[in-house]
């Protein structure tokens, strides 16, 4: 049931609710800002490029096969606590809804039937290649993927900074409006 705290999910559910409210309040304004919009879209393009590179290397298929054998695997429970509000907000700005409940007990809150339900992911989710993948792909191909990931993380960081500054400016302006 949505919102029912069966897995000790109170804090992540609170965070998801808080980020949704932030999006409802500021999503349109953020994307109406030319600079923020350009950086968010550039981040989205970087995510797609990384996704294409991972698909070419068969990473998704290998991870899905492994996850069927080791359900909690790399995406273990509580790893979702590494996400901050702004990165989750970027998912919403990129059109990716945030889940309302944990699908797999013992796994990350964001795991779904077909893998991760986020598009904007943090460093650990992107940068970790298990020893099995490292062995099968070899050093050169892993390095190329890591470079692609680093580019995505850099565009993500720029988008995060732009969103943060925009929100900071709004909250400063609001406080000044409230001054007597």
67 vs 170 by CB, closer to ligand SF4: 67
Write down the least CB distance from residue 124 to ligand SF4, Å. Answer: 7
Write down the least CB distance from residue 82 to ligand SF4, Å. Answer: 8
122 vs 166 by CB, closer to ligand SF4: 122
31 vs 65 by CB, closer to ligand SF4: 65
Write down the least CB distance from residue 81 to ligand SF4, Å. Answer: 10
- Give me the residues that bind ligand SF4 (CB under 6 A), please: 75, 79-80, 108, 110-111, 116, 118, 121, 125
In residues, how long is the chain?
180
Q: What is the DSSP string of 4-69?
A: --SSS-HHHHHHHHHHHHHHHHHHHHHHHSHHHHHHHHHHHHHHHHHHHHHHHTTHHHHHHHHHHH
How many angstroms separate the CA atoms of 131 and 11, rounded?
32
41 vs 67 by CB, closer to ligand SF4: 67
Widest CA span of the chain, in angstroms?
Answer: 66
Write down the least CB distance from residue 63 to ligand SF4, Å. Answer: 9
Enumerate the β-bridge partners of residue 111.
116
């Amino acid at each position: 049931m949505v919102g029912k705290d069966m897995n000790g999910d109170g804090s992540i559910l609170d965070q998801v609710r808080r980020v949704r409210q932030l999006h409802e309040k500021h999503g349109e304004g953020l994307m109406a800002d030319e600079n923020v919009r350009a950086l968010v879209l550039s981040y989205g393009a970087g995510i797609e490029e990384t996704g294409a590179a991972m698909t070419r290397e068969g990473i998704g298929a290998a991870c899905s096969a492994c996850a069927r054998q080791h359900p909690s695997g790399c995406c273990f429970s509580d790893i979702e606590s590494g996400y901050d509000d702004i990165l989750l907000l970027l998912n919403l700005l990129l059109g990716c809804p945030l889940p309302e409940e944990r699908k797999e007990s013992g796994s990350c809150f964001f795991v779904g039937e077909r893998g991760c339900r986020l598009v904007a992911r943090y460093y650990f989710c992107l940068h970790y290649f298990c020893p099995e993948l490292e062995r099968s792909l070899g050093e050169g191909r892993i390095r190329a993927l890591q470079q692609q990931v680093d580019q995505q993380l850099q565009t993500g960081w720029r988008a995060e900074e732009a969103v943060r500054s925009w929100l900071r400016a709004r909250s400063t302006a609001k406080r000044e409006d409230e001054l007597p």
